[in-house]
Structures are given as C-alpha cells and as structure tokens.
Amino acid sequence: MFNPMDLSGRCVLVTGASRGIGREICILLSRLGARLVLVSRSAEQLSATAALLEGTEHHVAPFDLTAIDEILPWLKKLSAATGPLHGLVHSAGTQSTVPLRFLGNAKLEEMLRLNLNSAVALSRGFLQKGVCGSGGSIVFVASVRGIVGTRACAAYAATKGALIAVAKSLAIELAPDLIRVNCIAPGLVRTDMADALQQQLTPEQFAAIVALHPLGLGLPADIANAAAFLLADTGRWITGSTLIADGGYTAQ
C-alpha cells in the first residue's frame, strides 16, 4: 500500500528523545521505517526509548547539547558511525515560568543555550560535508509561546520566537542545498512537564488553561504526526513555515 509518509531508508536524528514529545516522535518515525539517532543527556532513558522502537539499526547517542562548541565535531563523528542524516528534529528544550521581576540573566542564558543556541549549532553541524545526505529536513519544536504573549514567560517566549525566526532565515539560506527548515508550535501537550505545571496550580487555574484550548490539551502523538509530515515527502514543498498544533489556542 502506498504511504506518502514512508521514511524507509532514511536516518533521522531526534534530540530530547528520552521522554515526552521527543520519545513519541521517535516511536512514530520508526513505525514509518526510519532509522533513529536518539539524543539526550540520559543514556538510561534513551535505552528505554530504543526499546519501544520498531525496526533495527537505531543508534543511542547520549550528549549534553549545552556543550555548544562540541556539537559540530560530535555530529561529524556521529554521522560517520550512523551514515548520512536525512532529517533532524530538535525537540530538546527547557521551560520555566519566571515573572520579569525575578528573571535574572543566568536563567535567560540557560534557556537560550539549550532552546536556541543548540538549534543553530545542530543546523551548522547538519550542513557539514558527509553529515547530511542528499537534501534533508530540519524541524524545530518551538511553541505557541513564541507567537502569543503569556505572563511570566518572557524568557521562554524569547527563545521560541527566535527559533521561529531562525527557521525562516535558514529556510532561505539552505534552500539551494535542498534542505528544508520548519517549526512546529505546540500548545499545551500532556507530558510530564504539563503534569508538573498542573501540580503547581489550583484545579481552577489549570482548568482555565485547558479551556483556552478549544479541542482540549494535545497528546505527544499529535506533535509526532506533525513532525513526520514535515520530514516525509508530504512536506517536500514546505520550508520556512510554522505548523501550529495547539487545539485552537491561537485561533481565538
């Protein structure tokens, strides 16, 4: 049966693969035939993700993405072991709710380093000779916080808004190399981070957040579906775009 989202024969690197959205993306891509390179800091959690994948020849690659200067040589060495990459999904990131009066430079730098700087370094690394196969697709997992304003989210919103802007510029710059660059902007998705947020709020406060999503909160699979669409040939003519997957949050 013809499947326009078939990824057989393609190798895709996914950051943040140890849990949540990143893990779900890996599971779906493996079902579509892709070989996965799983990246996060925890080798144990990556192994747990690998055990859930279909197919073989997946590669577990523990790495701390805050080591920005080491990303290019690491990616060069990694691709020599895995073969050329056909796709890159940057799902790793950090989130924190910090009111402006308490937002220090250290917290801002921490978020910028993982959410934005590592994305740029990964893109540079992907472009290196021998790392990327013929053409390719880069997908950044951004957030609706980079599109609409939210209290106490200035630092997080800055990193995700910048990620969306970076994707647009890279899409133009890398088009001659047939490398597409896009973002996904999720609303609130049912992950352990969402569970932690729920624990910090009263039932009424959390219900108010849920009510802002007309279709309810998302599932990691919803974001995985969007990533697969952009990585596969279904996204062949899409670059520099942000696919908003938010249950209607930004439609209001």
Specify the 3-state DSSP secondary structure of 55: coil
Active-site residue, 156 included: yes
CA distance 63 to 181: 23
Q: Which of 156, 179, 183, 185 is catalytic?
A: 156
The answer to whether 158 and 106 are in contact (CB under 8 A) is: no
Beta bridge partners of 136: 179
The answer to whether 119 and 184 are in contact (CB under 8 A) is: no
* HEC readout, 91-129: CCCCCCCCCHHHCCHHHHHHHHHHHHHHHHHHHHHHHCC
User: Residue 195: phi, psi to the nearest 5?
Assistant: -65, -40
CA distance 142 to 181: 12
Burial 155-179 (b: 16+ CB within 10 A, else e): bbbbbbbbbbebbbebbeebeeeeb
CA distance 94 to 141: 12
Task: Please identify every residue annotated as catalytic.
Answer: 156
